[in-house]
Structure 1
Amino acid sequence: MRVRIRLFAQLRELMGSEFLDEEFEDGAVTVAELQRRLEQSRPALRPHLASLALAINEEYCVDASTEIRERDEVALIQPISGGAEQAPPFLVTHEPLDRDALRELVRTDASGAVVLFEGVVRNHHEGRGVARLEYEAYASMAERQIEAASREVLEEFAGREVQRIAAHHRIGMLEIGEVSLLVAVSASHRRDAFEAALRAVDRIKETVPVWKREHGLDGSIWQEGVSPRPAGAEHPAGA
């Protein structure tokens, strides 16, 4: 059985086609089975699936057990212009970060584990006391690089049932104990979720243009960082 899925707007451009075809052995498949197939076979879609709705024969489908038959018209509906906003999977923001929203972005029916990493402002760095941290970013590029790092890790873990990755980075002045970075990863098994989360955090730290300025009793200082390590580069940029 072949299920043809129609795409619109940004999804069509992302996938380079108006239609996706998925082949199944059975004469009917459920919405849940189609969603799992897309998770596995379309890595470019994974970061977006949490925010998509599915329509069958021009009606929204909210029941994952609904059967799809061969002649049904199936469409993926991305967030609608002018509609209510949902947190994007990759974000740089001045606002406090929402742990629950990020967890829900990555959770799937196939997920046996969801790992949430929190980067927290601490009161010391290399022997110096820290009162607060100021984060600055090349924000638009930072969001693109967070997405690129997440895609890279999804591809690296493609054979290990890692479903989704999402990450939000806060910028501006943060006090001790406030969360500066959230990274969420879902996977079928806990080891894969933990290892993919660690890898995603490392790649975000190595590629995303964010800088930290320490503020303490003795004044302020920019923290020393690492040279950017974009995907595919044999050496740090500028080395």
Structure 2
Amino acid sequence: MITVKLFAAAADAVGRRSLQGDWTGLTAAQLLEQLQKDYPGLARLAPVLSIAINREYATPDRRLADGDEVALIPPVSGGAPGPAERPLFEVTTDPLSADEIAARVTNPHSGATVVFVGTVREWTHGRRTVHLEYEAYAEMAVAQMEQIGREIAERWPGARTAIVHRVGKLAITEASVVIAVATPHRADAFEACRHAIERLKQIVPIWKKEVWEDGEEWVGSQTGPEWMHRTE
């Protein structure tokens, strides 16, 4: 038996957040094709959907095995314990504190700590936002955040990274994400923090619904894994 998890616009299109079926032996691409036939609302999303199997992005030719957990990943918008036993990588419904998250990475070997705070803005392209709603595939999101932390540690030796994203309903000016990077040297801290937010947008399965005065829509900027853009 295969379990399929759906999020954000994909869940809206199907009308459910999970499905189960005997799709063992199908490739990821064949499963997506079958689900489009069963749920026509998925057709418009199919070109931009990524597929994860057992919480890792999968190529279209990956074959499914009994017991696999598959996730359909629409375009997204965004470890070791730190001080006070808080994790470095986290998805939470709690309000975010930049100071508290920065404290998770600051250490005696760091000469600089750079913090990025993403907040909910009121106006986008002349359209007034009332509030945002964030949703995440939490288990995979944390795993992808941990990957970003490893990338940073390899590229900037001595770096320590924390990424915490909030989900649920957020009002204007509230913080949706806080990224803190501590490094021995200040230039590295700025560069690593920028790398973290760009990678967050690319690979971490978190979505936002913009709720305007006259409507609402799931939006995102994820381009998906590299294999999705190959032309052969």
- TM-score computed with the length of structure 1 as normaliser: 0.59
Mapped pair 1:98 → 2:94: no
User: Structure 2: where are the runs of 5+ without partners?
Assistant: 1-78
Could you say which structure has the greater relative contact order, defined with CA pairs below 8 angstroms and 6 or more residues apart? Answer: 2
Cα offset for 1:163?
2.3
2:211 aligns to what? 215
After superposition, give the CA deviation of every residue in 1:130-178 in whole Å (9 maximum; x if it has no partner): 11111011111111111111211221223xxx42001100000000000
2:199 aligns to what? 203
AA in 2 matched with 1:92: V
Q: Is the 8 A contact 2:81 2:87 kept in 1?
A: no
- Once residues 189 and 204 of structure 2 are traced to their aligned partners in structure 1, the CA distance between those partners, rounded to angstroms, is 21
- Once residues 148 and 90 of structure 1 are traced to their aligned partners in structure 2, the CA distance between those partners, rounded to angstroms, is 10
- TM-score computed with the length of structure 2 as normaliser: 0.61
Mapped pair 1:228 → 2:228: no
Cα offset for 1:124?
1.9
1:12 aligns to what? none
Larger radius of gyration: 1
User: Structure 1: where are the runs of 5+ without partners?
Assistant: 1-46, 52-84
- Once residues 238 and 86 of structure 1 are traced to their aligned partners in structure 2, the CA distance between those partners, rounded to angstroms, is 42
Q: Is the 8 A contact 1:136 1:211 kept in 2?
A: yes
Cα offset for 1:237?
6.7
Mapped pair 1:132 → 2:131: yes
- Once residues 223 and 170 of structure 1 are traced to their aligned partners in structure 2, the CA distance between those partners, rounded to angstroms, is 16
- Once residues 104 and 176 of structure 1 are traced to their aligned partners in structure 2, the CA distance between those partners, rounded to angstroms, is 25
Is the partner of 1:131 in helix, strand or coil?
Answer: strand
Percent identity, aligned pairs only, is: 40
Q: Is the 8 A contact 2:165 2:177 kept in 1?
A: yes
2:149 aligns to what? 150
Cα separation, partners in 2 of 1:92 and 1:238, compared to 1, 3 Å: farther
RMSD value over aligned CA atoms? 2.0
